[in-house]
Amino acid sequence: MKIKELNIEEKTIELLLEDREDLYYLALILDKGDIVYSWTWRQIKIDKGAGKVERGERVKVYIGIQVEKIEFQKFTDRLRILGKVVEAPEYLHIKGRYHTISLHPITEIKIIKRELRQLYLKLIDEAVRRTYRNLLICLGDQEAVFGVLSRGGIEIVSTLPSQIARKADSKKRSYMDEYREYFSAVMSEIEKFLKRGHYDRVILAAPRFLQELFRNFLSEKYRRLLNLMIFLNVEEGGTAGIYELVRREELSKLAKELRLDYEKKLVENIFTLLERENKRLAIGLKEVSQAAKLGAVQKLLVMDTRFIELKETEELSEILEDVEKSGGEIVIISSEYEHGMKLKSLGGIAAFLYFPLAK
């Protein structure tokens, strides 16, 4: 997905849908009452008089419809939007009539949102990047390169020269002593990144020798980060290692796995807390709705298919609004995997709470 234009004040979004997964994100973002503009096909009707109407040719036209229903099935490359026509060429005479826009990959659309929630901005950002924010460091003898793992591969954001000093008495010094100053500078940069922004994981790529040496360095006083870090092997470190990673398919696979791992842990945590009879949970639509009204929802989990189904109701709209007001996080859980089906067994919606609710 590419953002052509985003005007938060006017609640207007223009997007280029590039592939099947973009249609999935759009199904999550669209609400009943939104206005969608796109190119579509419409058959011209010719009035012959005396009540006789003939069907003419199909023409490609740019129209706007007010959304009433969204039809989307996973593993298909089409999303259908049904609604009333609000804007169309005059010669068609179709304003106020119903029309279905079928969207496919490589389509541009304009959306005027009824409500532009923070959740929708987050989903658009996720669709553009196709990954949570993952800090990547490619460690080499000459340099350490810092980047962000994104949908297109890696965006390089900074480079740190190694400045490893080979001293005369280097034969008496251990490898760790030679690299310690360099590793300390790398660690200082990592901490700066983590303070400036949120990253879900830290990924370190390096040749095997450097990787093991850096692991040992972290184990001395950065154990917490070591436990959160993912390690990848590359033939060369630094910029060359970045280009090597860009060529490898496992990078995009890793980004997807990190997202799924995050979802899986959240769902598993719900079941763990349920077994312990923890009161800081809300299960099912009724309990979640009650908790949201009280400003108690810390993290809301909704299965994607349940989310699309409930979006036509005012109840979900109120829940989302209440959760955003109380500073809670909203996470859409994929229904394609086992953890999604586990959430389905709880009604497809659950929440972690700031405080327990009185029963």
Report helix, strand or coil for 171: helix
User: CB neighbours (10 Å) of residue 201?
Assistant: 19
Question: What one-character DSSP code corresponds to residue 151?
Answer: T
- At 79, the pLDDT band (50, 70, 90 cuts) reads very high
Residue 36: the pLDDT is 98
- End-to-end alpha-carbon separation of the chain, Å? 45
Average of per-residue pLDDT across 106-116: 95
* Domains in the chain with CATH codes: 2-128 (2.30.30.870), 134-248 (3.30.420.60), 261-353 (3.30.1330.30)
HEC string of 117-137 equals: CHHHHHHHHHHHHCCCCEEEE
CA 19 to each of CA 36, 105, 249: distance values in angstroms, whole numbers, following the listed order: 18, 5, 18
Residue 36 has phi, psi (to 5 degrees) of: -120, 130
Report helix, strand or coil for 272: helix
- Asked if residues 352 and 281 have their Cβ atoms less than 8 Å apart, the reply is yes
Residue 152: the pLDDT is 41
**Torsion angle in degrees (nearest 10) through CA of 237, 242, 244, 248:** 130
- At 168, the pLDDT band (50, 70, 90 cuts) reads very low
- Asked if residues 135 and 53 have their Cβ atoms less than 8 Å apart, the reply is no
Residue 49: the pLDDT is 61
Residue 196: the pLDDT is 84
Strands laid side by side in the 229-233 sheet: 153-161, 143-150, 134-139, 201-206, 229-233
Radius of gyration over alpha carbons of the chain, in Å?
26
pLDDT at 54 over 90: no
Residue 268 has phi, psi (to 5 degrees) of: -65, -35
Residue 140 burial by Cβ neighbours in a 10 Å radius (0-12, 13-18, 19+):
buried
Residue 151: the pLDDT is 42
d(CA 353, CA 346): 16
d(CA 204, CA 265): 22
Q: Return the higher-pLDDT residue of 187 and 228.
A: 187
Q: For 204, what's the count of Cα atoms within 13 Å in the CB-facing half-sphere?
A: 24
pLDDT digits (tens, 9 = 90+) for 265-281: 999 999 999 999 889 99
Average of per-residue pLDDT across 246-267: 75
Q: Which helix (H) or strand (E) holds 37?
A: strand 35-49
Residue 300: the pLDDT is 97
d(CA 175, CA 220): 15
d(CA 99, CA 108): 18
HEC string of 222-268 equals: CHHHHHHEEEEECCCCHHHHHHHHHHCCHHHHHHHHHHHHHHHHHHH
345 Cα distance to chain centroid: 24
